């Protein structure tokens, strides 16, 4: 259990970073990533360099915990984290009890980039949390299997009632791929070398063993 306190009120949360017992400890980053960011990269809604290029909810709040989640949409352990904690994090957002920042990484290959770009496109549509949840709920059993092509990602959005031409063009063109690279570069600067990695008020959470 992680206890988080703010200056206004005591907030107790129970966020678990669990691992599959006996199978997988963490999803380790397979390559060394560049730490160079591109200041000219296009950025989606709710993003600023001040928040380490993460998609931010409740960024205007003060005196509340700040939760940074580093994740990869192809990472099975991240899918487990979402299953355990997704609803709770969304409740903190809805109730304005925390600032929550999602850092969508791309450690696991081109389809991680595609999915992170699509998530960024969905932020422009005000649908990031819905797409975030759907990407994990529909995660492929193996990485880079063709599951997250631009076409299937557009279809996923349509299922969530994202039907705009702007959305489809954003996904197809990879509009935010340079931003995805910035997220990865910023994570590398912070020595984030596994997913999921979660910081609360700048302090990295420890992992615990559990069955999903």
Give the pLDDT confidence of 81-122 residue by residue, as tens digits: 899 889 999 999 999 999 999 999 988 889 999 999 999 999
The reported pLDDT for the residue numbered 179 is 92
* SS3 of residue 14 by DSSP: coil
pTM score of the predicted model? 0.85
pLDDT band at 19 (very low <50, low <70, confident <90, very high): very low
CA 33 from chain centre, in angstroms, equals 18
The reported pLDDT for the residue numbered 190 is 86
Candidate from 19-23, 40-44, 166-170 with smallest mean pLDDT: 19-23
Asked if pLDDT for residue 71 goes beyond 60, the answer is yes
* SS3 of residue 173 by DSSP: helix
47 vs 125, residue with greater confidence: 125
With tokens 């791309």, the residue in question is 106
50 contacts 99 by C-beta, under 8 angstroms = no
Give the angle subtended at the CA of 98 by the CAs of 63 and 103, to the nearest 5°.
120
| E-strand stretches of 78-196 | 99-105, 194-195
Give the number of other Cβ atoms within 10 Å of residue 143's Cβ: 19
Give the pLDDT confidence of 43-59 residue by residue, as tens digits: 888 887 778 889 999 99
The reported pLDDT for the residue numbered 110 is 93
**Dihedral sign of CA atoms 174, 176, 181, 187 in order:** negative
pLDDT band at 206 (very low <50, low <70, confident <90, very high): confident
Q: Give the H/E segment covering residue 3.
A: strand 2-5
* SS3 of residue 109 by DSSP: coil
DSSP assignment of 35-59, as one string? ----TT----TTB-GGGTT-EEEST
């Amino acid at each position: 259990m992680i206890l988080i306190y703010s200056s206004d009120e005591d907030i107790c949360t129970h966020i678990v970073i669990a691992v599959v017992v006996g199978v997988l400890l963490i999803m380790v980053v397979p390559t060394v990533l560049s730490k160079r960011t591109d200041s000219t990269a296009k950025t989606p809604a709710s993003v600023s360099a001040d928040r380490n290029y993460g998609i931010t909810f409740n960024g205007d709040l003060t005196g509340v915990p700040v939760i940074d989640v580093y994740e990869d949409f192809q990472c099975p352990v991240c899918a487990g984290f979402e299953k355990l904690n997704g609803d709770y994090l969304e409740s903190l957002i809805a109730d304005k009890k925390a600032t929550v920042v999602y850092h969508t990484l791309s450690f696991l290959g081109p389809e991680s980039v595609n999915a992170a770009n699509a998530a960024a496109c969905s932020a422009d549509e005000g649908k990031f949390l819905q797409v975030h949840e759907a990407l994990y709920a529909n995660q492929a059993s193996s990485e880079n299997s063709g599951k997250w092509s631009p076409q299937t990602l557009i279809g996923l959005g349509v299922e969530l009632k994202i039907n705009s031409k702007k959305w489809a063009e954003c996904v197809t063109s990879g509009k935010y791929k340079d931003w995805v690279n910035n997220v990865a570069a910023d994570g590398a600067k912070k020595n984030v070398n596994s997913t999921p990695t979660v910081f609360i008020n700048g302090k990295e959470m420890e992992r615990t063993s559990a069955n999903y």
